[in-house]
Amino acid sequence: MSKIQVMEADLANKIAAGEVVEKTMNVVKELVENSIDAKASTIKIELLDSGVKEIKVVDDGIGMDKEDSVLAFSRHATSKLKKLDDLFNINSLGFRGEALPSIASVSNVLLKTSDGKTGTIVTLKGGEVESVKSGDIKKGTSITVTDLFYNTPVRLKYLKSLYTELANITDYVNKMALSYPNIKFILTNNDKELLNTSGNGDLLKTISNIYGVVVASKMMYIENLNDDYKISGYISYPELTKSNRSSITLLINNRVVRNNEIVKAILESFHTYIPKDRYPYVVLNIEVDPFLVDVNVHPTKMEVKFSKINELISLIYDTISQKLSEKTLIPKAIPTNVEDNYYHNFKGITYEVNDNLYKYSEKETEDLKEETPSKIEEIKFNFDTNSKETEEEEEKNIEDERIKDMYPVGVVHGTYIICENDKGMFIIDQHAAAERINYEKYYHALSTHSKNTIDVLIPYKIELPSNEYLILEKHFDILKNLGFDFEEFGTNTIIIRRHPTWLPKFAPLEAIRKIIDIIVMNEDFNEDKFNEKVSITLACKMSIKAGDAITLPDMTYLIEELRKTKNPFTCPHGRPTIIAYTKYDLEKLFKRAM
Range of the domain at 18: 9-159
Residue 262 near residue 256, CB atoms below 8 Å: no
In a domain, 327, yes or no: yes
396 lies in the same domain as 536: yes
125 lies in the same domain as 50: yes
Quote the DSSP letter at residue 267: H
Between CA 122 and CA 460 the distance in angstroms is: 85
- CA angle in degrees (0–180, nearest 5) for 198-201-205: 55
Q: How many domains does the chain have?
A: 3
Neighbour-count burial of 391, counting CB atoms closer than 10 A to its CB (0-12 exposed, 13-18 middle, 19+ buried): exposed
How far does Cα 382 stand from its chain's mean position?
Answer: 37
CA distances for 11 relative to 2, 3, 138, angstroms: 19, 17, 35
Q: In the predicted model, is pLDDT for residue 256 greater than 70?
A: yes
Q: 518 vs 353, which has greater pLDDT?
A: 518
Q: What is the pLDDT of residues 73-106, one digit of tens each?
A: 876 545 444 444 444 444 556 444 577 888 888 8
CATH number of the domain where residue 212 is located: 3.30.230.10
489 lies in the same domain as 431: yes
Between CA 354 and CA 358 the distance in angstroms is: 9
Residue 356 near residue 415, CB atoms below 8 Å: no
**Pairing of β 344-346 and β 493-500:** unpaired
Q: In the predicted model, is pLDDT for residue 288 greater than 80?
A: yes
pLDDT band at 293 (very low <50, low <70, confident <90, very high): confident
Q: What is the pLDDT of residues 1-48, one digit of tens each?
A: 555 555 555 545 544 444 457 788 889 998 998 899 889 999 999 999
Q: 8 vs 276, which has greater pLDDT?
A: 276
Between CA 187 and CA 255 the distance in angstroms is: 19
53 lies in the same domain as 149: yes
Cβ-based neighbours of 432, under 8 Å, separated by 6 or more:
570, 571, 575, 576, 577
Q: What is the pLDDT of residues 392-406, one digit of tens each?
A: 443 344 334 567 889
Mean pLDDT of the residues in the chain:
79
Longest dimension (CA), the chain: 98
148 lies in the same domain as 65: yes
pLDDT band at 429 (very low <50, low <70, confident <90, very high): very high
Quote the DSSP letter at residue 346: E
The predicted structure's pLDDT at residue 235: 95
In a domain, 290, yes or no: yes
Strands (E), 330-477: 344-346, 349-351, 407-412, 416-421, 424-429, 453-463
Boundary (domain end) residue, out of 124, 159, 194: 159
In a domain, 338, yes or no: yes
16 lies in the same domain as 95: yes
89 lies in the same domain as 139: yes
Q: In the predicted model, is pLDDT for residue 416 greater than 90?
A: yes
In a domain, 172, yes or no: no
146 lies in the same domain as 110: yes
Say what the pTM is: 0.70
In a domain, 537, yes or no: yes
How many contiguous H segments (helices) and E segments (strands) does the chain have? 18, 26
In a domain, 29, yes or no: yes
Boundary (domain end) residue, out of 159, 191, 219: 159
Of the given ranges (14-28, 372-386, 447-461, 534-548), which has the lowest mean pLDDT? 372-386
Determine how many CB atoms are found less than 10 A away from the CB of residue 576. 21
Tell me the H-state helices in 6-143.
9-20, 24-37, 66-71, 99-105
C-alpha Rg value of the chain to the nearest Å:
30
222 lies in the same domain as 154: no
Cβ-based neighbours of 8, under 8 Å, separated by 6 or more:
none
* Angle separating helix axes 24-37 and 162-179, nearest 10 degrees: 20
